[in-house]
Structure 1
Amino acid sequence: MTPPAINMNSTTPTAAETNKPGLARIRVGLGDVTKNNLNQLMRLNKVLFPIDYKPSFYNEILEVGEFAKIIYFNDICVGAVCCRKTNVEGSRTLQDLYIATLGILAPYRQYGLGSKLLKHVLENAELPPSSGPKIARVYLHVQTNNEQALKFYKKHGFEKKERCENYYPQFDESDAYLLEKVLIREN
C-alpha cells in the first residue's frame, strides 16, 4: 500500500512562531485522507469535537478529494478539515461545499494551521472543476457562543447568514450561526 501524500510545502516560521524563543524551523504539510489513515482522523475528531461521527460520515470524507485534509506539524498529525458537497436546489451546474469539521489540537493553535487548512479548501473551491458542477458557496455552522471560531471565519471572509435555534440540541448552548462565503452569485 502507498502512504498518503504529504505536501511539506512550508518550512518558514509564521509570524506567531518567530516570536517564540528557541523555536527551530518547522515543517507543516497537508496530507490526503485515505483508508490507511482514516482511523487517525477518527481519533483526532474524537478529541477535537464533542460529537460522535458515524461511519457513513467517514465514508463520505474518502470521496471528497482535496476537501478533506489532515495537517501535520513536524510530521505529527495535529488537525484536519472535512467537507462535503451538497447540491444547489434547481441547479445542475452548481454545488455548495459544507465544512463539517475543521479543528487543530489546542497546543498547536495560533500557528496559522487552521488558516492553512481553510485557505486550501477555499482555493480548491474556487478552481474550475475538471468535470461536474462549480462550487457556489462554502458554508458551516458555529455555536453562537464560540467567539474564537466566529472571529476566525469572519477574518476569512465568512458572513453570518442566519441564527439556527436548537441546532445542537445535545449542548447547553444549542443555537448556531450559519456562516457562508459566496463564491459565485447567480443572477
Structure 2
Amino acid sequence: MLEASGKYVLPITFHSFNEKILEQLKILNCAIFPIKYPDKVYRDCLIFSDLTQGAFCNDVLVGAIAVRLERQPGGKVQLYIITLGVLAAYRNYGVGTRLLERTLRKAVEDPNIEEAVLHVQTNNEEAIRFYGKFGFEVSQTIPGYYKKNRLDPPDAHILTKALQNSS
C-alpha cells in the first residue's frame, strides 16, 4: 500500500495473543533471537495478552512484542519487555515501532505501571538506538547477564523508560 508521501506501508493488522498465536510467537522468536525462551515465558505472555501483541501481514505473524508485568518492592509495577522482534524481510516498514507504540500506549493507561524495562546485549547498537528514540535510557549494565546463553559479549544493558509522572 502506497502512502501519499510515496512511502510503501505494509498492510499490517495487530492482535492480542491467545494459545494459537502463542505457538506462532515461539516459531517467530526462534527465527529472530539467539535465545530459546522456556515455555513458562510464553505462558506468562497470555496473562498479559492485551499488552503482548502480534503484527500480521496477510495472516502471517511477521513481528511481535511479548511482555509481562512485574511487581517491584514498594508496590511499583513495571512493564518488562521480554522480546520485540520483526522478521528481517519486514523490517524498516515501521512494524516494530507500531508494536512498541501500541504496547506503551496501553501501559500508560494503567496508572499502576510506572516504567518500562528491558535487557539488551551491550553490542546491539541498533536496538539501543531504536529504544532510545522512544525515550529509553541505559540505567544499568550487568556483566555476564547472557553468559548461560553463551552469547558474546555476555553483558547486558538495562534500558528503562518512565511511563507515569511521579507526582
Fold similarity call, TM over 0.5: yes
Counterparts of 2:66 and 2:51 in 1: how far apart (Å)?
A: 6
Superposed CA RMSD in Å reads 1.9
Aligned to 2:163: 183
Structure with bigger RCO (C-alpha 8 Å, 6+ apart): 2
> In the alignment, does 2:27 pair up with 1:43?
yes
Greater Rg over alpha carbons, structure? 1
Q: Deviations over 1:124-158 (max 9, x none)?
A: 110036xxxx1010010111111110110001110
Contact 2:16–2:51 under 8 Å retained in 1: no
Shift of 1:118: 0.4
Alignment partner of 2:100 out of 102, 113, 118: 118
Amino acid at match of 1:181: K
Contact 2:16–2:52 under 8 Å retained in 1: yes
Contact 2:18–2:49 under 8 Å retained in 1: no
Aligned to 2:41: 57
Aligned to 1:72: 56
Greater fraction of residues in helix? 2
Shift of 1:47: 0.5
Seen in structure 2, the aligned counterparts of structure 1 residues 27 and 168 have a Cα distance that, compared at 3 Å, is: same
Alignment partner of 1:109 out of 88, 91, 95: 91
Contact 2:122–2:156 under 8 Å retained in 1: yes
Counterparts of 1:105 and 1:80 in 2: how far apart (Å)?
A: 9
Aligned to 1:30: 14
Using structure 1 for the length normalisation, give the TM-score.
0.81
Sequence identity (%) = 36
Seen in structure 2, the aligned counterparts of structure 1 residues 106 and 13 have a Cα distance that, compared at 3 Å, is: farther
Q: 4+ residue runs of structure 1 moved beyond 3 angstroms?
A: 11-15
